[in-house]
Amino acid sequence: MAVGKKEENMAVEIVKPRIDKRDYRRIVLQNNLEILLISDPETDKCAASMNVCVGAFSDPEGLEGLAHFLEHMLFYASEKYPVEDSYSKYITENGGSTNAFTSSEDTNYYFEVNADGFEEALDRFAQFFIKPLMSADATTREIKAVDSEHQKNLLSDPWRMNQLQKHLSAENHPYHKFSTGSWDTLEVRPKERGIDTRQELLKFYSENYSANLMHLVVYSKDSLDKVEQLVRGKFQDIRNIDRNQIHFTGQPCIMEHLQILVRAVPIKQGHKLKIIWPITPGIHHYKEGPCRYLGHLIGHEGEGSLFYVLKKLGWATSLSAGESDWTNEFSFFKVAIDLTDAGQDHFEDIMGLLFKYIHLLQQAGASKWIFEELSAICETAFHYQDKIRPSDYVVNVAMNMQHYPPEDWLVASSLPSKFNPSIIQSFLNELNPDNVRIFWESTKFEGNTSMTEPWYGTAYSIEKVGGDSIKQWMEHAPSEELHLPAPNVFIPTDLSLKPVFEKTKVPILLRKSPYSRLWYKPDTAFSSPKAYVMIDFSCPYCGHSPEAEVLTEIFTRLLMDYLNEYAYNAQVAGLYYDISKTNSGFQLTLFGYNDKLRVLLEAVIEKVAKFEVKPDRFSVVKELVTKQYQNFKFQQPYQQVMYYCSLLLKDNIWPWNEELEVLPHLKVDDLVKFYPLLMARSFMECYVAGNVEQAEAESMIQLIEDVFFKGPQSISKPLFASQHLTNRVVNLERGVNYVYAAEGLNPSDENSALVHYIQVHQDDFMLNVKLQLFALIAKQPAFHQLRSVEQLGYITVLMQRSDSGVHGVQFIVQSTAKDPKYIDTRVELFMKMFESKLYEMTSDEFKNNVNALIDMKLEKHKNLREESRFYWREISDGTLKFDRRDREIVALKQLTQKELTDFFDEYIKVGVPRKKALSVRVYGSSHSSQFQAHKNEQMEPNAVQIEEIFSFRRSRPLYSSFKGGFGHVRL
The residues that are catalytic are: 71, 142
Which backbone phi and psi does 752 adopt, to 5 degrees?
Answer: -110, 165
Q: Is the backbone of residue 242 left (phi > 0), alpha (psi -120 to 50) or beta?
A: left
Question: Count of CB atoms within 10 A of residue 893's CB?
Answer: 11
Question: Count of CB atoms within 10 A of residue 224's CB?
Answer: 16
Evaluate whether 221 touches 137 at the Cβ level (below 8 Å): no
| CA distance linking residue 71 with residue 315, whole number of Å | 43
| CA distance linking residue 396 with residue 412, whole number of Å | 10
Element (H, E) at 685: strand 683-690
Q: Which of 968, 965, 970 is nearest to 723 (CA)?
A: 965
CA–CA–CA angle 816, 921, 787 (5° rounding): 45
Per the document, the length of the chain is 971
Q: Which residues contact 704 (CB under 8 A, 6 or more apart)?
A: 516, 535, 605, 684, 686
Evaluate whether 752 touches 820 at the Cβ level (below 8 Å): yes
Beta pairing class for 806-815 and 752-762: antiparallel
Evaluate whether 439 touches 271 at the Cβ level (below 8 Å): no
Q: 667 to each of 399, 586, 613, 672, 908, how far by Cα in Å?
A: 51, 21, 10, 9, 50
Q: Which of 877, 513, 544, 533 is nearest to 680 (CA)?
A: 544
Strands (E), 352-455: 437-442, 451-452
Give the CA radius of gyration of the chain. 29
DSSP 310-344: HHHTT-EEEEEEEEES--SS-EEEEEEEEE-HHHH
> Helix, strand, or coil here: 619?
helix
206 beta partners: none
Question: Count of CB atoms within 10 A of residue 670's CB?
Answer: 18
| CA distance linking residue 464 with residue 261, whole number of Å | 6
Evaluate whether 754 touches 812 at the Cβ level (below 8 Å): yes
Evaluate whether 439 touches 273 at the Cβ level (below 8 Å): yes
CA–CA–CA angle 577, 580, 582 (5° rounding): 140
Which backbone phi and psi does 531 adopt, to 5 degrees?
Answer: -135, 160
Sign of CA dihedral 583, 584, 588, 591: negative
**Biggest distance spanned by C-alpha atoms of the chain:** 85
| CA distance linking residue 279 with residue 252, whole number of Å | 11
| CA distance linking residue 207 with residue 46, whole number of Å | 31
Query: What is the dihedral angle through the alpha carbons of 372, 374, 376, 381, rounded to the nearest 10 degrees?
Result: -170
Q: Is the backbone of residue 293 left (phi > 0), alpha (psi -120 to 50) or beta?
A: alpha
Evaluate whether 96 touches 36 at the Cβ level (below 8 Å): no
Evaluate whether 766 touches 759 at the Cβ level (below 8 Å): no
Q: Is the backbone of residue 706 left (phi > 0), alpha (psi -120 to 50) or beta?
A: alpha
| CA distance linking residue 64 with residue 195, whole number of Å | 13
